[in-house]
A and B are shown apart, each in its own frame.
Chain A
Amino acid sequence: MDISQHPYAELLRKEMMPNIWCSGCRIGRIKNAFIEAVQHQGYNPDKCAVVSGIGCSSRIAGYLNLDGIHSTHGRAIPTALGVKLADPELMVTVMGGDGDILGIGGNHFLALGRHGKDLNIICMNNYGYSMTGFQHGPTTPFGAKTVTTSGGNPYAPLNPIAVALAAGYTFVARSTSSHPYHLVDCLVSAMNNKGPSFIEVLVPCMLFERRNKIKSLDALFLEKATIKETLSQADIHQNAFSEEISLGVFRDSQIPDRPAPAFAKAVKKKAGKKPRVTFKSKDSGIDYMQIRMEGTGGQGIVQGGKTMINAAMNMDPKLNSTLIKRYGPEMKGGSCLTDIVLSSQPVDYPFVEIPDLLIMMSGLITKERGGKVIVNENGTVVIDESTVDLSLLDDLADTVKIFKVPATQIARENFRVVVANNVMMGFVCKTTSIIDKNCIKAAIVKSAPPGTEEMNLAAFEKGYEL
Chain B
Amino acid sequence: MKNEVSSSRYWNIKDCTIPIGKVTILPSYCKGGDDCDDCIRFCPENVLERGTEPNERGYFPPIIVEEGKCTVCVRCQLYCSENAIFVQKTGERIVTAEEVSLAREEN
Residues in chain B near residue A23, CB distance under 8 A: 31-33, 35-36, 59
Of residues 167 through 217 on chain A, the ones whose CB sits less than 8 Å from some CB of chain B are 180-182, 184-185, 188-189, 206, 216
Of residues 29 through 63 on chain B, the ones whose CB sits less than 8 Å from some CB of chain A are 29, 31-36, 59
Of residues 14 through 69 on chain A, the ones whose CB sits less than 8 Å from some CB of chain B are 17-19, 21-29, 31-33, 36-37, 40
How many Å lie between the Cα of A127 and that of B80 in the bound state? 22
Q: Closest chain B residue to A25 by CB distance? A: B81
Residues in chain B near residue A182, CB distance under 8 A: 1
Interface bracket on A: 35 or more
Q: What's the nearest-Cβ distance from chain B to residue A244, in Å?
A: 20
Q: What's the nearest-Cβ distance from chain B to residue A24, in Å?
A: 3
Query: Which of A3-11, A274-282, A306-314 sits within the interface?
Result: A3-11
B11 within 8 A of A: no
Interface residues of A (CB under 8 A from B): 1-3, 5-8, 12, 17-19, 21-29, 31-33, 36-37, 40, 180-182, 184-185, 188-189, 206, 216
How many Å lie between the Cα of A40 and that of B80 in the bound state? 19
Residues in chain A near residue B82, CB distance under 8 A: 18-19, 21, 28
Q: What's the nearest-Cβ distance from chain B to residue A226, in Å?
A: 14
15 contacts between A and B (CB under 8 A): A3-B29, A12-B83, A18-B83, A21-B81, A22-B31, A22-B35, A23-B33, A24-B31, A24-B34, A26-B81, A31-B81, A32-B81, A181-B5, A184-B5, A188-B3
Interface contact B26-A3, CB-CB below 8 Å: yes
Interface contact B3-A8, CB-CB below 8 Å: no
Residues in chain A near residue B86, CB distance under 8 A: 5-8
Q: Closest chain A residue to B37 by CB distance? A: A24
Interface contact A36-B78, CB-CB below 8 Å: yes
- Residue of B29, B32, B34 with most chain A CB atoms under a 10 A cut-off: B29
Q: What's the nearest-Cβ distance from chain B to residue A388, in Å?
A: 76
Interface contact B2-A6, CB-CB below 8 Å: no
Interface bracket on B: 20 to 34
Interface residues of B (CB under 8 A from A): 1-3, 5-6, 24, 26, 28-29, 31-36, 59, 74, 77-84, 86-88
- A5-B88, A36-B5, A189-B3 as given contacts; A17 in contact with B81, CB under 8 Å: no
Interface contact A33-B32, CB-CB below 8 Å: no
How many Å lie between the Cα of A5 and that of B31 in the bound state? 20
Q: What's the nearest-Cβ distance from chain B to residue A177, in Å?
A: 9
Residues in chain B near residue A29, CB distance under 8 A: 78-81
Residues in chain B near residue A1, CB distance under 8 A: 24, 26
How many Å lie between the Cα of A407 and that of B97 in the bound state? 107
Q: List 10 additional contacts besides A24-B36, A180-B78, A188-B3; criterion CB under 8 Å.
A: A2-B26, A12-B83, A18-B31, A24-B31, A26-B81, A27-B81, A40-B6, A181-B1, A181-B78, A188-B2
Q: Closest chain A residue to B10 by CB distance? A: A7
Interface contact B1-A17, CB-CB below 8 Å: no
